[in-house]
Each structure stands twice: as C-alpha cells, then as structure tokens.
Amino acid sequence: MVKISIPDDQPPLITDSPALARLRAATDAEVALWDTRPTSEVELLERISDAHTVICIRSTSHFTRHVIESSPALRHIARWGPGVDNIDLDAAGRMKIMVTNTPDTATDAVAEHCLALMLAVARKVPEIDARVRAGEWPRGLLTQLSGKTLGIVGTGLIGRRLARIAQGIGMSVIAWTRRPDEEWAAANQITYVELKVLLRESDVISLHLRLSAETRNIFSSDEFSAMKPTAILINVARGGLINENALADALRDSSIAGVGLDTFSSEPLPTDSPLRNIPNAILSPHTAGTTAEALTASLEMVVDNALQFMAGKTQNGVI
C-alpha cells in the first residue's frame, strides 16, 4: 500500500481539516500523521520511512541530502507554503523526487501583515498601548507613512502585492531584485534601483527574497549602516536573510529606527535572543499567512498536489 506521511503538523494545521478528510477519502493510501515536530534527523527519517509522498508542513523539517538519499521509497515532497529552502533541491533532483509547493495562496494575507507591521512600528502601537494600560498618557511625535518611500527587496508575488498596498496609502515604491521585470515596474510606477540606492533612500524596507546561500545574511552591519537612522525594516520572508545579532546592535545604537519581524533564523524564537528585549522591535510568531482564507486555500492545494502526483500528474512543481 502507498504511504503518505505528514511528519510535523505542530501546531496543528492540517489535522482535523476538511483537506485532510478529502485526502483520506480520495485515496486508498495509508496516511500517517504526527502532531509533533521531529526532534532530530533520525526521528524525521523514522516518520517518513517507506513513504511515497511526504506532506511537509513545517520548514523546521530539513530534507537534507542524507534524508533524501536515505528514503528510497520517497517520490514526492509536497511542501505546504511557498518556501522550499528546507529541502535540498539538488539532491531531490538527482534522486528523481518531485518537490511541489503552494504558491499564491497567502499572498494577500502576508502582504497585509507587512502593512500591519509597518504601521505598528511607525506608530509605536505596542509601546503606546502598554503605557496607556499602565495609567500613562504618552505624547510625542509618531511616523506618518504617506509620502514616504518603501523599498521592496524581492518583487515576487508578495512584494508586488505590498507595492500596490503601499501606493494605496500614499507611499512611493522603489525596488531591487536579482531579475528585474522592467515591464511590470513601468506599468505600476515602480523604479528598480541598485541595492545601495534602495538602502540610502528608503524610509521603510521590506524583504521578500527566498533564502539561499546567496541571500543568507544579506542584511547585516554594512546594510544597517547604509540605511537612514529613521528607517524601518520589515521581514516576513525568511529569518536567515538577516544577521540578527547585527540587527540587535543596529537597533540599540539607533542606526535604524525599528523593525517588524515575522520570521527568525531559529524558530520558535530562542529565549536568549537579543531581539526579545529591544522595545523598537515588534515580533510576531511566523503567522503572517495564517488567516482562515489563506489556510484553507493552501491546505486544499497541498492535498491537490499530492493527489495529482499519485494520479501521474504534476502541478505546482518546483523541480
């Protein structure tokens, strides 16, 4: 019997969902689900042993070369979400393992969360709320985003959606990416610039890159030093894009004004992270895409990807 393994549904997303019920009803395959995350590579291998298809919910499950080469029955890794940086795609290609993802299911949700973080940092919402609850009536100037410049680093689906939202509240938008789409930029009144120019001119910078060897720690001390001291940094992409120790230093010495983060280099955020004690850092637990609408669409798509592959077809293939 064909086996489908879901090794890491914690906190539970697909458990008890209509999408999982549909998967069970649509196939005779054995569906094995764990509502905890594997604590080691050995445990991950135990959970996906003999699996034809793995539905990977969490990016903390690392499909390394060793995991892939040690899974002879594996033919398909169906990743929930758009990011596949936890999968060794070269190894998967060599072993003829299909990798799929769920693109464009949380674009609006994540872009809205970007806006929420931008406004929360600019208007100091958590700080003001806490002080009012404590009996204070704080005064002082806040930051208006209308009329300011947003620099978008990476113009994929989410970066493009955020550009439209930002323009809707009166911001100008500039962008940098590795493969500029000048036709799209011209049609949407957006200017591509060099990264050093974007750092210098942006009042808010939002990161929308995939994590790779080339992009890891793409924002570190030199980049923070090049930004305006009044600038705000937003990251809802991948935590590894930012050197978090350098970021903490930049926030402490006011090299930049604040940061809004939904992703971190290690998740959950370690208790000793320096970011926890910095007041001008607003933190959310990798939850930008977890609206009811986005969750339903993405779970249905990851199940569709699995069912299509078992029927001999491929949709949303990454390799």
Q: What is the mean pLDDT of each run of 10 residues along the chain (319 residues)?
A: 96 96 96 97 97 96 98 98 94 98 97 98 97 96 98 97 98 97 97 98 97 95 98 97 98 97 95 95 95 97 98 94
Taking the model in full, what pTM does it have? 0.90
Determine the Cα–Cα distance for residues 163 and 49; give it in Å rounded to an integer. Answer: 44
267 given a catalytic annotation: yes
Q: Which of 113, 160, 238, 244 is catalytic?
A: 238
Joined together, the tokens standing for residue 128 give 């003001």
Q: Which of 46, 69, 267, 293 is catalytic?
A: 267
pLDDT of residue 1: 85
Domain 107-283 has CATH 2.70.98.20: no
- Tell me whether residue 316 is exposed, middle or buried, using C-beta atoms within 10 angstroms of its C-beta: 0 to 12, 13 to 18, 19 or more: buried
Sheet holding 30-33, edge to edge: 30-33, 3-6, 53-56, 76-79, 98-100
pLDDT of residue 302: 98
CATH numeric code, 3-105+292-310:
3.40.50.720
Q: How many other C-beta atoms lie within 10 A of the C-beta of residue 86?
A: 18
214 given a catalytic annotation: no
Q: Where in the chain is the domain with CATH 3.40.50.720?
A: 3-105+292-310, 107-283
286 given a catalytic annotation: yes
